[in-house]
Amino acid sequence: MLTDLASDLRFRWRALFRRAEVERELDDELRFHLEREAAKLERLGLSAAEAARRARLEFGGVDRVKEETRDARGVRVLETILRDLRYAIRGLRARPGVALAVIATLALGIGANAAMFGIVDRLVFRAPPLMRDPAHVNRVYLQYSFRGMEITNGSIEYRRYLDLSASTTLSQSAAYAQADLAIGTGQDAHEMPVDVVSASFFDFFDAHPVIGRFFDRAADSAHSGGSVVVLGNALWKSRYGGRRDVLGQQLQVGSVNATIIGVAPAALAGNSGTRPASAFIPVTAYAESELPEYDKDYSWGWLTMIIRRKPGLTIEKASTDLTRLYALSWEKERALAPDRGPLSLAKPKAIVAPLQALRGPETDRSTSILLSICVVAAIVLLIACANVANLLLSRAVSRKREIAVRLALGASRRHLISQLLIESLTLAFLGALAGVLVAEGGQAVLRGLLLPGKSSIGVLDDPRTLLFACLAALLAGLLTGIVPAFQSGRDDLVTALKSGVREGTRQRSRTRSALLLAQGALSVFLLVGAGLFVRSLQNVASIRLGYDVDPLLYVSTDMRGVHLDKERDIALKARLEEEARTIPGVERATQVLTIPLRQMRTQGFSVPGIDSASHLGQFLMQMGTVDFFRTMGTRILRGRGFDSTDRRESPRSIVVSEGMAQKLWPRENALGKCVKVGGDTMPCATVIGVAENIKASDITSDDALQYYLSIEQQRPAGAALFVRTRGRAAQRAEQIRKRLQSLMPGPSYVTVMPMRNIVDGARDSWRMGAAMFLLFGLLALVLAAIGLYSVIAYNVAQRTHELGLRIALGAHAREVLRMVLGEGLRFGLAGIGIGAAIALAVGHWMQPLLYRESAHDPLVFLTVGAVLAIAAIAASAIPASRATRVDPSIALRTE
Amino acid sequence: MAEAFDAAKLELPQGTLDLLILKALSLEPQHGWAISERIRQVSAAALQIPQGSLYPALHRLERRGWIKAKWGESDNNRRAKFYELTRTGRHQLEAETDAWRRLTVAVRLVLDMR
């Protein structure tokens, strides 16, 4: 079968691309036949001439036989297409201006979509590289009810992972997480993304170590596993120059001093949607270094769990069985932590979901924004297509004569239409080619916005994206070609031949106006979206956070296995705080327990006279030293912040947020009240001050319930630092890090992070939405303006005769100008009207993506309207001024 | 002479030409003219196919991979295009011959029905 196919293809290939040779052979073959036949007839006694005639007669028409033989080669259709293709390319070279405009327009449209596709495909559709049979692989999420709320969580505790892995519906299960860990020691140490994986993780992939081996179950077992590391390919090359003798060497990874046992292949970059792993270490080795009792209870959910269903087992079966095991596991957890709700209330449920995080049950704003940006990219392509269809239509008008002549000469309409389609497809594919280059460049920009810190991915080396670009080109080619093709197929032959180029048919100009309006309306729609997102971003940026951002630097420590007892830890943090104050440029410093927007701590408390006070809401706890409020820039509204009187031996102090004060003591003065943090049996902490509310958990949340305790009095382990600098903290970060590092014992180290990065990270999805809508909106505006320009310019050219007549009859330049500008402006206004109507109609879909901004904000609509009107006037200004300069004598003489 | 048999010439049923060509080639490689001559002789000129229609059929069979062509010397030392059966072609010939036999037997049975 396969060899048949191969010989068939070889035959057709030769017929198509060695046409001259094949034809010559056919000539030879037929001539040989005729000569032999004639020779035979001569032997029978006929004259040479008569023999040749009879031979021909017997044979049938030579040309007909040749035609039939050509048909038998099975490449007829392709031959026609090739010929049309050559014709199309000749035609495009004759009018390079139009061709370039079309290609550039499509390049922008297709490029934008290819770039978006490359990103969305990776986030939503594509399985991780090398994954074996991804159709059977799923990710497990856990869901339970808590106080009437459904809580869905993709982060799973180690012990839970073991409990669920027992399911008989699974043929494999694995757990992993990614952590930023310092690799190496001393000056050599750099923080890199490290995949913390179970040994079974590698079994999900068709991957073999480049050298050495992956770790096995023995290395990945609780409390008896090994400290081993598998290097990522990139790290192996960059740090070890790809040497083979790395096996057996020691490498410090985070707190684990590990032995290198293997090197992963380059394509095994870890799990999808995250940064490629520099190294892989066992779950157990990492967990032991972080929290030695990690496998004793269910307090630390940090793992992503993936499973492979047994062949033929549905997702429903797997989730039913996992839910059963989750319920058993929940009971085990309740035995350890009685405050967990009973099964009947908690209703624990396991969800078996697609592997890609964006398709899982935990969706967030970024997902919806990403999807809406895809819609936006598709709209940009539509605008580009409308634009190109218009350009081709105007070209079809000026080629009317040519087409009529060809029809008169006997070309079939079907052939003509297919030829026009081939022309637009050629343009579309050239556009796609340029578009892929645009995407390659543009994707770097998009990646920066959409996938911060993600792996470097290209367009040119990615077959799926290239295929997508080809499909987009096919679609664009058909969309843009179909209107002009059928319009020209409809023309009446006689009138077309008789009339000049001047008269365009009404039908055609209606089509063109409709296309133009569609462009205008869609770009208004996109620009309104851009405006709404920009306003949302402004609103988000102007949120009062309750702490300063630019001057703050967060300093945390990573002990890397250096074990300090609590007293020595507290002493170290105090030394760091003291040292920080002495660094030039540092204004203040404080120790803290948590970092806003990143970490949250809660602790139960009781208040005399109020029943179960800590159940009135989620109260977030923070701790600080003397300078805490002045360092953070959080205002004290009443009373005072911590000061030197809040010493270890003095009575406990607490500062509460305004929201907490109102919640607990609505009509009373909070100052002087007693809060027993930790429960009834604890001593009173006296409220010494009321602070403003801060955004502690999320930048757009309505957080209001917070309280602050003194670090000197509470003496917690594991405190971190905030340092307040003059000017921007980012500029002094490295200097501060170096000074503080000198105090750190052994391989432990400090990391610094400007608060600006954390706040910007929290604003990312807003920034992304605004930037993408603005980018695509402006692109749409430019395309629409070009479209308007080309139509008006074309109309002016068509009306040269009429305009010349008007001018000859005494029309003022100003009147002509007004006429042409008026035409452009009418298009603009109609586009604004339709686009605004669309935007108003679909506003409710946008609303959830906005922050304190109505989807019907009149300011945005008015601004966009003004921008588009200006663009319309600008686009028609050049043709308008050209119209006023029409020389009546020349205009009247044409044709 | 050929004319004498004109009245007895038969129209070829659809698709039989391929079978005849394959059969003609089953003994040895031949060029187009020789194939047409052979069919004419063996069928006692009862089957006279228009010589021209041989060539589209030959090219179609070549594309299907049932026969292959190469240029060689003819008996009068002229360059000619010789066709020969491929392995697939030979299988095809057997299959089609078999099918044809069964068909003719069946048709005869029906026609002889009383």
Q: Which residue has the tokens 């069964």?
A: B102
Secondary structure of residue A308 in the 3-state scheme: strand
Q: How confident is the model at residue A562 (pLDDT cuts 50, 70, 90)?
A: confident
Please name the residues in contact with B56: beta carbons below 8 A apart, sequence gap of 6 or more: A65, A68, A69, A71, A72
Q: How many angstroms from the chain centroid is the CA of residue A277? A: 20
What is the ipTM score, two decimals?
Answer: 0.84
Please name the residues in contact with A340: beta carbons below 8 A apart, sequence gap of 6 or more: A330, A333, A334, A346
CB contact (8 A) between residue A30 and residue B55 = yes
Average pLDDT over residues A849-873: 92
Q: Is A720 left (phi over 0), alpha (psi -120 to 50) or beta?
A: beta
- Give the E-state strand segments of A658-769 in sequence order: 674-677, 685-691, 706-710, 720-725, 749-754
Q: How many angstroms from the chain centroid is the CA of residue A630? A: 40
Cα gap A84→A75, rounded to integer Å: 14
Average pLDDT over residues A849-874: 92
For residue B68, give the DSSP letter: E
Task: Give the residues across from A176 on adjacent strands.
Answer: A197, A304
Residue among A412, A461, A406, A418 nearest A436 (CA): A461
Exposed, middle or buried: residue A687 (CB in 10 Å: 0-12, 13-18, 19+)?
Answer: buried
Of A28, A36, A72, the CB nearest to B56: A72
Chain B CA closest to residue A44 = B1
pLDDT at A449 over 70: no
Secondary structure of residue A655 in the 3-state scheme: strand
Give me A694's structure tokens.
């801060």
Write the pLDDT tens digit of every residue in A406-418: 777 777 777 777 8
CB contact (8 A) between residue A8 and residue B65 = yes
Average pLDDT over residues A453-473: 75
Task: Please report the DSSP string for A335-389 in residue order.
Answer: HH-TTSPPHHHH--EEEEE-SSGGGSS---HHHHHHHHHHHHHHHHHHHHHHHHH
Write the pLDDT tens digit of every residue in B65-112: 889 888 888 877 888 889 999 988 899 899 989 988 998 899 898 988
* pLDDT number for residue A301: 86
First to last CA, chain A: 64
**Shortest Cα distance from A74 to chain B (angstroms)?**
8
Contact indicator for A255, A560 with CB cutoff of 8 Å: yes
Domain, as residue range, for B13? 2-111
Average pLDDT over residues A841-861: 89
B51 touches chain A (CB under 8 A): yes
Of A8, A35, A65, the CB nearest to B55: A65
Of B33, B64, B79, the CB nearest to A33: B33
**Shortest Cα distance from B90 to chain A (angstroms)?**
13
Of B52, B78, B81, the CB nearest to A25: B81
Contact indicator for A764, A517 with CB cutoff of 8 Å: no
Per the structure, the count of domains in chain B is: 1
Residue A446 corresponds to which amino acid? L
Residue among A139, A143, A156 nearest A348 (CA): A143
Task: Please identify among residues 78-97 of chain B the ones whose CB lies closer than 8 Å to any CB of chain A.
Answer: 78-81, 88
Secondary structure of residue A863 in the 3-state scheme: helix
Write the pLDDT tens digit of every residue in A276-327: 889 999 999 999 888 888 888 888 888 999 999 999 899 999 999 999 999 9
CB contact (8 A) between residue A74 and residue B63 = yes
Q: How confident is the model at residue A259 (pLDDT cuts 50, 70, 90)?
A: very high
**Shortest Cα distance from B100 to chain A (angstroms)?**
23
A27 touches chain B (CB under 8 A): no
Write the pLDDT tens digit of every residue in A592-637: 999 998 888 888 888 998 888 877 888 999 999 999 999 999 999 9
Q: How confident is the model at residue A171 (pLDDT cuts 50, 70, 90)?
A: very high
Of B33, B59, B76, the CB nearest to A73: B59
Cα gap A581→A58, rounded to integer Å: 111
CATH of the domain at B25: 1.10.10.10
**Shortest Cα distance from B52 to chain A (angstroms)?**
5
Contact indicator for A192, A330 with CB cutoff of 8 Å: no
- The packing angle between helices A463-490 and A365-398, to 10°, is 40
Cα gap A99→A426, rounded to integer Å: 10
Q: How confident is the model at residue B7 (pLDDT cuts 50, 70, 90)?
A: very low
SS (H, E, C) A426-460: HHHHHHHHHHHHHHHHHHHHHHHHHCCCCCCCCCC
pLDDT at A8 over 80: no
Q: Give me the count of residues in chain A.
A: 895
Average pLDDT over residues A683-704: 90
Cα gap A782→A105, rounded to integer Å: 10
* pLDDT number for residue A451: 56
* pLDDT number for residue B2: 41
Q: How many angstroms from the chain centroid is the CA of residue A471? A: 20
Write the pLDDT tens digit of every residue in A115-158: 888 878 877 888 888 889 999 999 999 999 887 778 888 889 99
**Inter-chain contacts counted by CB atoms under 8 A, chains A and B:** 80
* pLDDT number for residue A325: 95
* Average pLDDT value for chain A: 85
Dihedrals phi, psi of A341, to nearest 5 degrees:
-70, 155
Write the pLDDT tens digit of every residue in A489-511: 565 555 655 554 444 455 567 77
Chain B CA closest to residue A6 = B65
A4 interaction partners in chain B (CB closer than 8 Å): 64-65, 88
pLDDT at A862 over 50: yes
Secondary structure of residue A137 in the 3-state scheme: strand
Contact indicator for A892, A801 with CB cutoff of 8 Å: yes
pLDDT at A736 over 90: yes
A37 touches chain B (CB under 8 A): yes
CB contact (8 A) between residue A59 and residue B78 = no
